[in-house]
Amino acid sequence: MDSWGILNVDTAAAAISRDDMTSSFRRKQTMTIEKLPDKVLLNIFSYLSHREICRMATVCKRWRMVAYDTKLWTHVSLRPEISGLHVGSLESLLALISIRFGPSLRYIELPIELITHTVLHELAAKCPNLTHMLLDFSTAMQLHDFSEMQAFPTKLRYLCICLSEVIFMEGFMRKIYNFINGLEILHLIGTYEKVEEEEEEIYEVINVHKLKSATPNLRVINLYGINFVDDSHIDAFSSNCIQLECLAVNFCNKVTGSTMKTLFQRSRRLTCLLMHGCSLQSSNVMQVEWEKSSIQELDVTATDLSTECLIDMLTRIPGLRFLSAGQINGFNDSVLKAWMEAGTARNLVALDVDASDNLSDEALHRFLSRHGGALHGLALAGMPHITDQLWQSVLSLLTNAKILIMGTQERLGVNIHVDQLMDGIANSCPNLERLELRWDPENLRFSDKSQKAIDILRVKCLKLKCLVLSDGRYYEIVKANFERADRTTVVRTSTNCRVSNYYLLSNYKDLIFN
């Protein structure tokens, strides 16, 4: 029988299926990374570190062209210990500045061996949009000769200088004073972490009194761990920087607070004062006219202020949002009670009373019952008597919490029921971003149902960026759980990471260095 012109359904279906397979195979053949447009490849490379981008440049000529696109080189660190990038010679760096960085460069970090007048001249000439610079002199034993330096980047908003213990900076600073009057953010980083027990002679390696005259527009000043900084330097900056909003003098242990009253009288815009580890004297702090100040964020951790001083200060500050007052024996129940009764804690969003052994769990419970709902950050770590029982009782109040820090590294006589705690956190704190549990691994009691509690935390706290635990069996379980869900960077050990309420500071991004 002649079947010409008659539709055979089976034959047609087979033909369609064969065509689909052929076209599918063709599509699979064409969908390789080689076929991606340069624009897409550039976007992919933007998620890589510069060290990885340099590795990609060795794959082929096309990838090399994409890797060297100036759009990928807007923020550059040339400190090997930070970024893994090392420039072998000044000639290579000068070529990079001209060809690869150019007008796209916004931020650069230079180690001591690359801080020369020729490099700075080239940056000034070829990188007109450079606004952020870090100069690391911390390992310097000798400065380069800057006598011929005639130019320096003029649009800098942010300058960070890592100081040396023994090298005087005036020869360099004298050359840049005329170029930095537009600075808004200044970091001077000392050698606090390198100081040994037997302190040697202290040198004032940078002239703060001259520097303040060259930088009248500063909003944020961070003097970190500088062993020669004292109250006179704070007084110097406050006399010339009328736009000052944030002053940080953490670990400057010569600061006693003797010029704080003058500081607040001059700096009416000052909203943030960080004095962690300073040698504050209660009498100096009590002289400040707190009720007239604009202060909103205050760190007096490890300052040994008296109970009387703390009560006087906290009951007079009208708009305090952020308080860090850990490691102070004088911070006790009477301070919390007076603060509550004065009503000046009504704007509080962050509280850190780390290692305040004289605070009872009853007083903390009363305070959190009233103010817990407004808190975005709460740190009650370093206190053996504050266990999971208090946390379980207040978690339902902490509905707006973004940061929680709990536990102590001391071995306890009781166990912490971590499954119930995780479950409570997951159900009460949907906005949680950072969580740290400092309890010793031996004190964490968990069961076969741990995976369920961790699952609930992972699923309900979708904004969680960082979960810090002491290294041990429970850490391994939690890390494996998050890794299976492709969230590999969330879980970390307390050896490598510490959570802080500082993320909630209004000037946090400006205060970041290193």
Q: Report pLDDT digits (tens) over 248-283.
A: 999 999 999 999 999 999 999 999 999 999 999 999
Whether 5 shows a pLDDT value over 50: the answer reads no
pLDDT (mean) for 66-93: 88
pLDDT above 90 covers a percentage of the chain that reads 72
Whether 119 shows a pLDDT value over 80: the answer reads yes
- Residue with the bigger pLDDT between 140 and 512: it is 512
341-380 pLDDT, tens digit each = 999 999 999 999 999 999 999 999 999 999 999 999 999 9
What are the residues whose beta carbons fall under 8 Å from the beta carbon of 139, sequence distance 6 or more? 111, 112, 164
Whether 139 shows a pLDDT value over 90: the answer reads no
Per-residue model confidence (pLDDT) at position 17:
58
276-314 pLDDT, tens digit each = 999 999 999 999 999 999 999 999 999 999 999 999 999
- Identify which of 297, 274, 175 has the alpha carbon closest to the alpha carbon of residue 221: 274
Rounded to whole angstroms, the Cα distance separating 136 from 163 reads 7
Confidence of residue 89 (pLDDT cuts 50, 70, 90): confident
Per-residue model confidence (pLDDT) at position 83:
83
Handedness of CA 202, 205, 207, 212 (dihedral sign): negative
Per-residue model confidence (pLDDT) at position 38:
86
Whether 195 shows a pLDDT value over 60: the answer reads no
Per-residue model confidence (pLDDT) at position 322:
98
Per-residue model confidence (pLDDT) at position 86:
83
Per-residue model confidence (pLDDT) at position 143:
84
213-252 pLDDT, tens digit each = 999 999 999 999 999 999 999 999 999 999 999 999 999 9
Look over the chain and give the mean of its residue pLDDT values, rounded to a whole number. 90
23-34 pLDDT, tens digit each = 555 555 556 777
Whether 18 shows a pLDDT value over 90: the answer reads no
pLDDT above 70 covers a percentage of the chain that reads 92
pLDDT (mean) for 82-105: 88
For the chain, the structural domain boundaries read 27-69, 376-514
Per-residue model confidence (pLDDT) at position 218:
97
Per-residue model confidence (pLDDT) at position 24:
53
| Alpha helices in 181-326, H assignment, sequence order | 208-214, 231-240, 260-266, 282-286, 307-314
User: What pTM was computed for the model?
Assistant: 0.89
Whether 192 shows a pLDDT value over 80: the answer reads no
- Residue with the bigger pLDDT between 73 and 338: it is 338
Integer Rg of the chain from CA = 29
453-464 pLDDT, tens digit each = 999 999 999 999
- Residue with the bigger pLDDT between 16 and 375: it is 375
Per-residue model confidence (pLDDT) at position 84:
81
Per-residue model confidence (pLDDT) at position 455:
94
What are the residues whose beta carbons fall under 8 Å from the beta carbon of 152, sequence distance 6 or more? 120, 124, 175, 176, 179, 180
Whether 112 shows a pLDDT value over 50: the answer reads yes
CATH number of the 376-514 domain: 3.80.10
- Which amino acid is residue 214, in one-letter code? A
Residue 406, both tokens: 């709990």
Per-residue model confidence (pLDDT) at position 11:
55
Rounded to whole angstroms, the Cα distance separating 172 from 213 reads 16
417-475 pLDDT, tens digit each = 999 999 999 999 999 999 999 999 999 998 887 899 999 999 999 999 999 999 999 99
Per-residue model confidence (pLDDT) at position 20:
57
Whether 7 shows a pLDDT value over 80: the answer reads no
Whether 163 shows a pLDDT value over 90: the answer reads yes
CATH number of the 27-69 domain: 1.20.1280.50
Residue 32, both tokens: 């390789």
